[in-house]
């Protein structure tokens, strides 16, 4: 059970971008700016679910132009 919990605490960049409603390119810019912490595990970049949710609360998505 602990293994499943550990899996749920991390997100890929694609998952985080979808959750935040932004492109992966924009997500990388946010990560590079230091606004959203990310962790490099080997060659992979992972984000903690709690960090993504906190960012989402503090930075609601902007409406897209129609």
**Residue ranges covered by each domain of the chain:** 2-58
Q: Could you tell me the pLDDT band of residue 5, with boundaries at 50, 70 and 90?
A: low
The class that CATH gives domain 2-58 is mainly alpha
pLDDT tens per residue, range 48-66: 999 999 999 999 876 767 6
Cα distances from 11 to residues 16, 17, 33, in angstroms, run 6, 10, 19
**pTM of the full structure:** 0.78
Nearest 5°: CA angle at 2, between 43 and 21? 55
């Amino acid at each position: 059970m602990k293994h499943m919990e550990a899996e749920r605490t991390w997100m890929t960049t694609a998952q985080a971008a979808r959750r935040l409603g932004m492109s992966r390119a924009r997500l990388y810019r946010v990560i590079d700016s230091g606004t959203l912490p990310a962790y490099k595990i080997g060659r992979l970049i992972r984000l903690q679910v709690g960090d993504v949710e906190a960012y989402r609360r503090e930075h609601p998505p902007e409406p897209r132009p129609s």
